[in-house]
Amino acid sequence: MKEVLNELLDGAESIGLSRRAFLGRVSALGLVAALGGTLVAPKGALAQEPTKGGILKMGLGGGESTDTLDPGLADGPVAFAVNRQWGDTIVNVGATNEIEPRLAESFEGNADATVWTFKIREGVKFHDGSPMTVDDVVATFKRHSDENAKSGAFGIMQGIADIKADGGNVVFTLSTGNADLPYLLADYHLVVQPKGGVDNPNAGIGTGPYKITSSEPGVRYAFEKFAEDWDTARGHYDGVEILVINDNTARTSALQAGQVHVINRVDPKVAKLLGQAPGVVLHHVAGRGHYVFIMHCNTAPFDNKDLRLALKYSIDRQEMVDKILDGFGSIGNDIPINAAYPLFDETLEQRPFDLAKATEHYKASGHDGSPIELLVAPGAFPGAVDAAALFQQTANKAGIPLAIKQVPDDGYWSDVWNVKPFCASYWGGRPVQDQMYSTAYLSTADWNDTKFFNKEFDDLVLAARAELDHAKRKELYGKAARILWEEGGVICPMFNDFIDAHGETLQGWIEDPNLELMNGFVSAKTWLA
């Protein structure tokens, strides 16, 4: 605890808050928070109904100078949050996993789920004043279906044979039935843009509650309320400011100092202490998010199955959950699916921590004993550097020469993740298995970050997609999971809770297990008391 407190103190000083002032806030539990330019208000002085006005200030980790406004390329927390300010999808996934109509006001599928019709909302305007049309929606989906667009949604668009406008509707015709299609189309990359964003995907023009006024990737973003927002029930703020604060301690201290209203990615090791601080509200929700170490299955030495298995058996998952997550999560099993998914196969045995098996597989791999380099950055996930160190310790005990190379946060998601053959990463998860597998594990997925190319796995996922009988579908997903568990390049030691924190003045928070910051909708749904 002393170490944690010292870390927070150092971070407080880095943003101009004295150690005495910081300690005063931490120790004064139950007392009125310090005033004078801070964003923290006395307890009890809270609005019961949404109020309008103010600038929401968000301190977010997971941004870099290479981030763009192209929603298809959003590959980190900040890019994701930025898109949520200015963009809308045709549907969303709600906090209880229900589909919420958005730019599509209704939808229906035919009997075998091969044709889906979405009725597009009328009277919606883009931020440039132009009307949103059905053609814009069609063009958006066609762009993300184009391999050259490099969209993170490319994988889930596979299997859609045709997309066309039909009056006020968009009609999707699938090569095989898919009862989960509405969930797939809620993917946060699929932001509707004028003419689909084909001409300028980085324009940042959408139909969301806030318009972009300033964009400084890796530093700061500013937004103002869109006066002609089609949804009058959202967007209570006059504007939003996103400050990129990648350092965990500095981000936490910024909240304590009242410099921001809300932060993401609270480090689990300080979460309990932060939750006791005056004027701070801590939220954590279990879901489908997971922290991983990913190996490229098509790149030496990770193209050797025995080496992959050696590394999988050499990691102590429970130790990581205990020491890295500090109770804010659960053990993983080298697949991206857990019991939060409705068709999870509970019969897949848990891979144990087994140094003897790790040694056996390492010897069988014939590896030459040269260092096996694992790249990691503090921003890969909270506690990533410490997790890598634990991994190294146990792997070395098995005779595996795992070496850690720490690299900067800036450029990590563009130059390391999905580029280098072995690195730390994270996934927020997806509402349904088809979307998770289609986004990151199908051979055709642009974000296939383990370079896992397995026809049998592909066939099972596609068969499950077309199967409408739940029992049979669960069986197919179970078979696919076992292949990935045995053959894949993902090491998934833990599923993380999403841990966010905000000042006491922020009201209207909803626990949402889909993604951090209320599935990115914190600025749309909350308000300041």
Distance CA 214, CA 327 (A): 39
CA dihedral of residues 275, 279, 284, 290 (deg, nearest 10): -80
Distance CA 482, CA 324 (A): 27
Which DSSP letter does residue 284 get? E
Q: Which two tokens stand for residue 33?
A: 């928070």
As separate numbers, helices (DSSP H) first and strands (DSSP E) second, the chain gives 18, 21
Q: Which two tokens stand for residue 295?
A: 């190996």
Residue 298 has pLDDT above 60, yes or no: yes
Which DSSP letter does residue 323 get? I
pLDDT of residue 279: 95
* Domain boundaries along the sequence of the chain: 2-85+208-283+499-528, 88-197, 290-496
Helices (H), 257-325: 268-275, 305-313, 317-320
pTM: 0.84
Radius of gyration of the chain (CA): 23
pLDDT in tens, 113-170: 999 999 999 999 999 999 999 999 999 999 999 999 999 999 999 889 999 999 999 9
The residue-averaged pLDDT of 335-349 equals: 95
pLDDT in tens, 186-224: 999 999 999 999 999 999 999 999 999 999 999 999 999
Render 135-201 in DSSP notation, one character per residue: HHHHHHHHHHT-GGG--TTHHHHTTEEEEEEETTEEEEEESS--TTHHHHTT-TT----GGGGSS-T
The residue-averaged pLDDT of 493-510 equals: 97
Distance CA 215, CA 324 (A): 33
Helix, strand, or coil here: 329?
Answer: strand
What's the CATH number of domain 88-197, 2.40.37.10, 2.40.128.130, 3.40.50.150, 3.90.76.10?
3.90.76.10
Is the Cα torsion angle 11, 15, 20, 22 positive or negative in sign?
negative
pLDDT of residue 43: 38
Residue 315 has pLDDT above 90, yes or no: yes
Instruction: Report the Cα–Cα distance between both ends of the chain, in Å, rounded.
Output: 32
Q: Are strands 372-376 and 402-406 parallel, antiparallel or unpaired?
A: parallel
Which DSSP letter does residue 450 get? T
Distance CA 355, CA 395 (A): 8
pLDDT > 90: percent of the chain: 89
pLDDT in tens, 56-69: 999 999 999 999 99
User: Which residues does residue 222 pair with via DSSP β-bridges, in sequence order?
Assistant: 214, 241
The residue-averaged pLDDT of 493-506 equals: 97
The residue-averaged pLDDT of 520-524 equals: 98
Least confident of 30-34, 399-403, 430-434: 30-34
Residue 517 has pLDDT above 60, yes or no: yes
Would you mind telling me the total number of residues written for the chain in this entry?
A: 529
Pick from 323, 417, 330: which is nearest to 62 by CA? 417
Contacts of 427 (CB under 8 A, 6+ apart): 289, 290, 292, 336, 436, 440
User: Where is pLDDT greater, at 363 or 28?
Assistant: 363
Q: Are strands 115-120 and 169-174 parallel, antiparallel or unpaired?
A: antiparallel
Pick from 186, 174, 215, 182: which is nearest to 85 by CA? 215
Q: Kindly indicate the confidence band of residue 334, based on its pLDDT and cuts at 50, 70 and 90.
A: very high
Q: Kindly indicate the confidence band of residue 28, based on its pLDDT and cuts at 50, 70 and 90.
A: very low
Residue 11 has pLDDT above 90, yes or no: no
Asked if residue 408 lies in contact with residue 218, where contact means CB atoms within 8 angstroms, the answer is no
What are φ and ψ of residue 363, in 5° steps?
-65, -40
pLDDT of residue 332: 98
Q: Which two tokens stand for residue 84?
A: 């949520």
pLDDT of residue 48: 67
pLDDT of residue 22: 38
Contacts of 229 (CB under 8 A, 6+ apart): 207, 208, 209, 235
**Average confidence score pLDDT of the chain:** 91
pLDDT in tens, 375-388: 999 999 999 999 99
pLDDT of residue 235: 98
Q: Would you say domain 290-496 falls under CATH 3.30.1370.60?
A: no
Contacts of 96 (CB under 8 A, 6+ apart): none
pLDDT in tens, 260-275: 999 999 999 999 999 9
Residue 16 has pLDDT above 90, yes or no: no
Helix, strand, or coil here: 378?
Answer: helix
Residue 9 has pLDDT above 60, yes or no: no
Residue 291 has pLDDT above 60, yes or no: yes
Q: Which two tokens stand for residue 497?
A: 């809770």
Residue 36 has pLDDT above 60, yes or no: no
Least confident of 4-8, 72-76, 456-460: 4-8
Residue 199: count of CB within 10 angstroms of its CB: 10
Residue 86 has pLDDT above 60, yes or no: yes
Helices (H), 315-419: 317-320, 355-365, 384-397, 412-415
Q: 2-85+208-283+499-528, what's its fold?
A: D-Maltodextrin-Binding Protein; domain 2 (3.40.190)
